[in-house]
Structure 1
């Protein structure tokens, strides 16, 4: 996880090949267990769930914490809380990436004031499970490497969900119908150094070759048998290219309690 590395020009900064899956414009974040001054107080802003991580962008440009990156490989002990009184929330623990502008670990709490915490949390667990099949163990988060070049406005594929979902799974866009504001999503030429749901680049430094703007930049991982079966039975969907902010898909069914983060991200033997 890195501090103040995922924002640019008042918007979010993502890696080449990284895509935004869900977006929420009214989220508060609290950190505990770490004395870094940037973690003090409740933060209000936007939360992005991408193919590789969660990203928080603060709405207050004067705060010491402008952005916070939560790669799946740095998160543990995630729980979805549904208190009798008060709003649902997500809590967990995150570890710092080397060179990520802070050290150690911290506990976090995400509160979705407009609702949707459980949907967001279940989607995050699903994506983390997919990503865990493509990368190394989570006990060694890779170092953060700052972008070597310039950043530019991300093309629409970076924040428009695929019409058939991801390996047959469709994100709960019904719970998060908002779209990132215009001119607020930016991209670098550097691929992520950690795995995502589409594969693992292995790139750990700025000298590695990069994907062209708008390309996925990954070698697709072989689809597991259960994923292939799910893809064949994928739910019907409708996507209107003239309205990239909308993806019409049947809502996913969550009939069972979500697994713990450790169970969800456990690598297949």
Structure 2
């Protein structure tokens, strides 16, 4: 029997199943951002999400805008030249490496994700500046040791020098059996002083009922969404030095003066916290 679009070749040439019959967080996010790398199940899940939370596309855009601002801060102001981005998602330009290599073309970035379709598109679209480097690895955030031991990471990054660990809108998707605090602590333990953590995380501090509906919908298709309070999100930064303004809703984290969309939003319009902190 021939294989249709539900199969893809991995970097090693082996076929991998994409499970296009059920929604995937990265592809739902891609749809909300206006992308084309999604399937019927993803679009149906996205439409249900929009019914429960009509500003879901706005949330996706503001999450993306936070990533751009945080990456630019880390490269321009903090002087970081190495990045480990886990839970990469389907590429949407400008990508993280484009932001930081615009500051310094020599910057080096490792993208990690556990979705074959994400990595396939990453290899095609995450093209590094010739003076720097981008690399891509298949890794499960629930198994941080495997990511840290991956040869592609050691070929690309020098873990003796500061690294920015970015976990953008990924921790709330972890299965219940995975302890996100332990995972973040393990990854940070492997990084030297002067490294940074940047993350965003969905919250149920507001829009609680809508978040419950979305979580129940994804639960029916085998995915987990775990919203957390501001205090619970701040716990990821325990022992680190938070960059001002600390843990904040993403639209209020160092907004660009010209961002009319962010400027029009109230503190409760986007149920997503973000923050950046330095390892001492």
Shorter chain as denominator, the TM-score bin is under 0.3
Q: TM-score, normalised by structure 1?
A: 0.27
User: Higher helix proportion, which one?
Assistant: 2
**Larger relative contact order, structure 1 or 2 (CA cutoff 8 Å, min sep 6):** 1
User: Higher strand proportion, which one?
Assistant: 1
Q: TM-score, normalised by structure 2?
A: 0.26
